[in-house]
A and B are shown apart, each in its own frame.
Chain A
Amino acid sequence: AQTVTQSQPEMSVQEAETVTLSCTYDTSENNYYLFWYKQPPSRQMILVIRQEAYKQQNATENRFSVNFQKAAKSFSLKISDSQLGDTAMYFCAFLTGNTGKLIFGQGTTLQVKP
């Protein structure tokens, strides 16, 4: 069975600095997709970034980028120039099979300090 592990329950960063959130996963599949979702205190689930496993190039979205290491089954999220609005819980998620079933990690609570 696929699993997703986020080993950092809580992290903090100073405004304008860079922070990296870790995620590892376990799967025997070769074709899959990985996501990072953000959940601010408003409880909304907001897509941050998406990575296709067959693409070697790391995905980027403005201040957000990933370091995708397929062999190591690692998928970390880097947030550059952190802003107060980045304060949220961040979930790593693995998309499996042809049914779109998402498997989520436990989440990392990120606090950006002024």
Chain B
Amino acid sequence: NAGVTQTPKFRVLKTGQSMTLLCAQDMNHEYMYWYRQDPGMGLRLIHYSVGEGTTAKGEVPDGYNVSRLKKKQNFLLGLESAAPSQTSVYFCASSGGTGGWNQPQHFGDGTRLSIL
């Protein structure tokens, strides 16, 4: 019973490098989300997806891109050119099932990303 799985769990990057964070869920949820959590702040929405092949911007989308491929279960978050301001903990979440968008979101364990 994996739920939402994020890889990797930790990563250190140099400024300007690129990387992709992977989120996978096994609950057949339609809705998927990427958040970032900074010290002293709640989670802030980066991008989200309401279904296979669709994505939309959240509250803090700049510097990130996302992909929701045909495989509905995966949601990728990309950093094309990492900046120190993107040092954060990143959470993926999913929701869906009966009732759809208003169901509680299930979260992954987070990815701690440091940009030097």
Q: Which residues from chain A sit less than 8 Å from chain B, CB to CB?
A: 4, 33, 35, 42-45, 47, 50, 52, 91, 93, 95, 97-107
Contact = CB atoms under 8 A, between A and B. Distances in A.
A100 B103 CA distance: 8
Interface of B: 31, 33, 40-45, 48, 50, 56, 58, 89, 91, 93, 95, 100-105, 107, 109-110
A91 B41 CA distance: 10
B110 A106 contact: no
Nearest to A98: B101
A45 B94 CA distance: 12
B42 A4 contact: yes
Given A91-B42, A102-B33, A43 B109 contact: yes
Nearest to B41: A106
Given A43-B110, A45-B91, A100 B42 contact: no
B44 A100 contact: no
A101 B48 CA distance: 8
A44 B109 CA distance: 5
Nearest to B109: A44
Contacts of B48: 99-101
14 contacts: A44-B109, A47-B104, A97-B101, A98-B100, A99-B50, A100-B50, A100-B95, A100-B100, A100-B101, A100-B105, A101-B58, A104-B42, A106-B41, A107-B41
